[in-house]
Structure 1
């Protein structure tokens, strides 16, 4: 049983809540309409080993069951992003690790029709504050393809540090892609990331791009 999940978070018109089976129609409509907008950044499955077949693509119902199971286990916080009560994207806190690391990573996407309204920075700030101030995690990472400038602007506005490059880190859009690593620790936002965002954000310091 995960004491930190399920949970709903909100800041003005922006909300984070667990994904539900009844989201299927809205999720499919947003995903289909944004196929071209999102396909360059979507995770894909690498080709199977010789002699093996690729696994079937999960149905929406199977995806929701998996995400709910991962949330209940404490390995993930699988949110949908809402704006004015409407589903407009997803944000996932994944790779939750305790022990000597106490860390997690955040990934997200948003409907192109509402991009640029501060929805995802607000959602990331809410999720990070929950991880730091409620769950007691110490470090949050966001890994982004170098070409994904809108996504990089999100974390830079929030003050994440650029730590370096992970070559061929994730299988995205049909191939292994390099990713820039951005990170933040709890000590760097003593008043909370959402408060920093409300105060106008901050410019992230740029480090030399080493491999890591």
Structure 2
């Protein structure tokens, strides 16, 4: 695989309680364990996946693809770690995907959280840490996200970070094997720059 050993341009981003960085080979065991333990929790919110998607070969292909996409500037994948006294603990992941330049200047935000870490505010902090990178470094104009109508946790994550509801999309994404309606949220540069500054990410 050409370019496997080239550096990944995805940065390391830190907040008071979290660290975001690109996946690495040594993260495989923790990633597999967290995804496997959270399967029933994640299943209603994600495209269908199987045990084969958790094997080392699939993880290696994911890393290689992520590095290629980051170098092309089309997608950026982050693992999310909580800072603890014993070191960093993997708790979930985020993606900036489908980056469009020229007249569009937008991308799509996605994220997932391991079941035992949900509801503690870690994802809200992580999205807040990601936003300066999106607007100030990538210099994009609009970040959009979509979630299932009953997913109140995702709604809270986005609202806490200044996203606004823009609409409703029928049969928007295939989730758990079925085409599902989604609520559409977005944050524009204008809203990002106008939001109150509190000193928090």
TM-score by length of 2: 0.85
1:33-73 CA distance string (max 9 Å, x none): 1111101111238xxxxxxxxxx857111112111211121
Task: Determine which of 12, 20, 23 is the counterpart of 1:8.
Answer: 12
Q: Hey, what's the Cα distance between the residues in 2 that align with 1:43 and 1:197?
A: 37
Unaligned ranges ≥5, structure 2: none
Q: Hey, what's the Cα distance between the residues in 1 that align with 2:199 and 2:117?
A: 18
Task: Determine which of 14, 36, 50 is the counterpart of 2:40.
Answer: 36
Q: Hey, what's the Cα distance between the residues in 2 that align with 1:115 and 1:197?
A: 24
Shift of 1:6: 2.1
- The answer to whether the 8 A contact 1:94-1:105 is kept is yes
**2:156 is the alignment partner of 1:153:** yes
Shift of 1:135: 1.3
Shift of 1:191: 6.5
Shift of 1:196: 5.3
- The answer to whether the 8 A contact 1:105-1:141 is kept is yes
**2:108 is the alignment partner of 1:105:** yes
Unaligned ranges ≥5, structure 1: 46-55, 200-212
Residue 51 (structure 1) aligns with: none
**2:200 is the alignment partner of 1:198:** yes
**2:89 is the alignment partner of 1:86:** yes
- The answer to whether the 8 A contact 2:82-2:89 is kept is yes
Residue 67 (structure 2) aligns with: 68
RMSD (Å) for aligned C-alpha atoms: 2.4
1:131-176 CA distance string (max 9 Å, x none): 1011110000011111211111111122211001111011111111
Shift of 1:5: 2.3
Relative to structure 1, the CA distance from residue 197 to residue 107 in structure 2 (aligned partners, 3 Å threshold; closer, same or farther) is farther
What secondary structure sits across from 2:193 in the alignment? coil
- The answer to whether the 8 A contact 1:15-1:81 is kept is yes
TM-score by length of 1: 0.81
Shift of 1:118: 1.5
What secondary structure sits across from 1:90 in the alignment? strand
Q: Hey, what's the Cα distance between the residues in 2 that align with 1:197 and 1:170?
A: 36
